[in-house]
Amino acid sequence: MSFNNKVVIVTGSSSGIGAAAAIAFAKEGANVVIVGRNEEKMKNVSKKCESFGKKPLVIKADVSNDVDAKRMIDETINKFAKLDILINNAGIAEQDEITSDSFMISFDRVMNINLRAAVYITHLAAPHLIKTKGNIINISSIAGSTNAGSTALTAYCTSKAALNHFSRGVALKLSGHGVRVNIISPGPVRTDILDNLSIPNFNWDTFKETTPLKRYSEPEEIADLILFLASDRARGITGSEFIFGELYAWYTQFNTNSVDNNKMALVTNVRARPSTLALGRVIFIGSVVTQLPNRLDHGGVKMSFDNKVVIITGSSSGIGASTAIALAKEGAHVVIVGRNEKKMKKVNEKCESYGKKPLVVKADVSKDEEAKKVIDETIKTFGKLDVLINNAGVADWNDITSDDFMKKFDAIMNINLRAAVYLTHLAIPHLIKTKGNIINTSSIAGSSTLGMSLLSSYCTSKAALNHFSRGVALKLAEYGVRVNVISPGPVRTDIAESMGADIMTWDTAAQTTALKRVSEPEEIADLMLFLASDKAIGITGSVFISDNGSLVK
């Protein structure tokens, strides 16, 4: 994820998430523009950035002031002659009730910084980002989809909800110019913003105990995701919202009695709303598991899988094959699982070229005895299991009024859902030992009918897989095991071609996306590796959508 000579503006980068992101970009070779109001803090961030070899541009500015915002863009272009990435991170939170005489003053201040500043800076930056085909990441909050458990935070919640929807609209507009726009909505993160709220009796240790994973996130965790989304590894992702704290929201929904309402009024009523889940553009991200260290040296975290044991079902072609090859390249012991021996042989040869001979298991994972064979042979050969990727799947046209509907329905559900459930059940004891993780390959069909009634069985199977994954993520969090979902949009794979897709079909599919393109399997493999790695140590219970903007269109 090198950003060598990329020009990156990070607003609100004097501390917290912004500072962590600026430092992370600097370490990856970027020309960083640090923007904030606290000169002393910016000086400290600048020193850390400069230690990686390049002197950042430091701009003292109040981004809610139009003159300052324009000066920030102008100075960046004067200095570097271009702009590749804009991180709108500046934000404030204030407590004030709608009945208060001072409410409108507070409301205007919050909206000006959290929303209008980001809108104006985006407006100013757009022409420059179009030239570089760059991207924008807006830092929002889970407060944008909940009331944050406090009526006194109405202005803050309103500003973040507005920022989210603004981002989706701009993503659609700028996609035509090759510019991506995404959102990150953190939950509990240890930054100045909560400390500055002066909540009575608030302390971070108490706050930590109210989460299912007994911790809050650190800014560096959010920075890791910022870098991934800003990189070419996320070239198929736009118009998406990544929410840190989904498991926390679910936990508080069913465990509100476990929270001290006097001390934690800010968060006791957080809810994961079904209507939010149905939007299709929301990617839910959990929190780091209890057993993992509370602080990490993120600068030293790599995506190496040296000697990790990884099972990939459906890996004879497409996404599964690309993932197997990518993992082998990173040093993993790969278990290739599929039904087509000829295709598996080719994947095996590519994997072996990186130095380690994979285990090849011919199996129909929809059959219990063959699914068990996959796990048994893996443990017998390698003695452990670190990562399970449930990727096997089928799609078929199926009319609810046809005589053979139930036959096709059962076949689709058995492969797309039940096989993943059973393999997960079998793999859990081994993954608990290694504190490993699971990635389930779903589809945007899990949150959309795709406008095709003949795919209702496929859509049903993927929706079920998504929700199964969230439930298992919550259960396995206590053991240090992460569970996530990847939901691709149009990807050039055998599954579509087996349904009759041809060159014209792919061209048509590309036109249905905001970015006017179809993904290649290797793009999804990049996301697989990120989620399976320690770079994603703070992510669980998530559905990642990589669809070139299909659902935002």
Q: Evaluate whether 335 touches 378 at the Cβ level (below 8 Å).
A: yes
User: Which helix (H) or strand (E) covers residue 438, if one does?
Assistant: strand 437-441
How many Å apart are CA 347 and CA 292, to the nearest integer? 34
Q: Evaluate whether 389 touches 427 at the Cβ level (below 8 Å).
A: no
* Per-residue model confidence (pLDDT) at position 517: 86
Same fold, 7-285 and 302-546: yes
Q: What is the 3-state secondary structure (H, E, C) of 155-199?
A: HHHHHHHHHHHHHHHHHHHHHCCCCEEEEEECCCECCHHHHCCCC
**Which of 20, 266, 36 has its CA nearest to residue 142?**
266
Mean pLDDT by 10 residues, the chain (553 residues): 92 96 98 98 98 98 97 99 98 86 90 94 97 97 73 84 90 94 83 62 63 70 94 93 61 38 27 28 36 34 82 97 97 98 97 97 97 98 99 88 87 92 96 97 85 80 89 88 92 71 70 85 94 87 87 80
Q: Evaluate whether 247 touches 289 at the Cβ level (below 8 Å).
A: no
Q: Evaluate whether 281 touches 241 at the Cβ level (below 8 Å).
A: yes
Q: Evaluate whether 398 touches 457 at the Cβ level (below 8 Å).
A: yes
Residue 2 DSSP SS3: coil
- Kindly report the CATH class assigned to 302-546: alpha beta
* Per-residue model confidence (pLDDT) at position 510: 82
Q: What is the reported pTM?
A: 0.81
CA angle at 217 for the pair 50 and 147, rounded to the nearest 5°? 120
Structure tokens at 101: 């005489």
For 452, phi then psi, to 5°, come to -130, 105
DSSP 82-96: ---EEEE--------
**What's the full length of the chain, in residues?**
553
How many Å apart are CA 241 and CA 285, to the nearest integer? 10
Q: Chain-centre distance of CA 374, in angstroms?
A: 29
- Alpha helices by DSSP H, listed for 189-317, are 192-195, 204-209, 219-230, 246-254, 274-277
Tell me how crowded residue 99 is: count the other CB atoms within 10 A of its CB.
7
Residue 361 DSSP SS3: strand
* Per-residue model confidence (pLDDT) at position 208: 64
Q: Which fold has domain 7-285?
A: Rossmann fold (3.40.50)
Pairing outcome for strands 180-185 and 135-139: parallel
Domain extent listing, the chain: 7-285, 302-546
How many Å apart are CA 398 and CA 219, to the nearest integer? 47
For 436, phi then psi, to 5°, come to -85, -160
Which sequence positions are flagged as catalytic? 156
> Which residues contact residue 172 at a Cβ distance below 8 angstroms, ignoring those fewer than 6 apart?
239, 514, 549, 552, 553
